[in-house]
């Protein structure tokens, strides 16, 4: 299953898959400055308490249930491919984790926020890998 996701969309995904990969991609505008977007995952309890975070400087949650695949700083991939990905291994996620939020953020080299207006295109995707199906 591959699905494009809209900003703010909530997905109820199966917990039986072997691996679920969340991706974020962007295409820099022609002639524009290089853009650095980052994909992060925040693991929360039912009460909304943070259990763990995964991002470009912390590539794995405790127990390796959620893993960041590395930092892409330029949006250099093909326009329909993900530049950054985070994999979730449902069988390894602790029972205390009730929600996982995925967040895309943007900053330039000076650390200033330039929002999502500068890239030509952005996209989120989700792919479920389930060998039983």
Q: What is the pLDDT of residues 105-121, one digit of tens each?
A: 876 665 565 555 567 77
Rounded CA-CA distance 50/57 in Å is 17
Per-residue CA distances from 111 to 1, 35, 80, 93 (Å): 36, 11, 27, 33
pLDDT bucket at 100, cuts 50 / 70 / 90? very high
How far does Cα 114 stand from its chain's mean position? 19
Q: Please give the pLDDT value at position 26.
A: 80
Its pTM surpasses 0.75: yes
Contact between 17 and 35 under an 8 Å Cβ cutoff? The reply is no
Residue 40's closest CA among 19, 22, 21, 55?
55
Q: Please give the pLDDT value at position 16.
A: 67
Domains located in the chain, CATH noted: 2-129 (2.60.60.30)
């Amino acid at each position: 299953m591959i699905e494009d996701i809209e900003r703010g969309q909530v997905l109820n995904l199966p917990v039986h898959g072997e691996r679920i990969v969340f991706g974020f991609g962007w295409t820099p505008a022609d002639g524009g400055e290089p853009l650095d977007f980052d994909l992060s995952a925040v693991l929360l309890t039912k009460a909304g308490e943070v259990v763990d975070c995964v991002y470009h400087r912390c590539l794995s949650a405790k127990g390796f249930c959620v893993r960041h695949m590395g930092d892409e700083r330029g949006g250099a991939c093909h326009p329909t491919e993900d530049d950054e990905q985070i994999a979730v291994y449902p069988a390894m996620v602790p029972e205390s984790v009730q929600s996982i939020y995925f967040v895309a953020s943007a900053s330039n080299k000076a650390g200033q926020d330039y929002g999502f207006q500068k890239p030509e295109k952005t996209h989120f995707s989700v792919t479920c890998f389930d060998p039983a199906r």
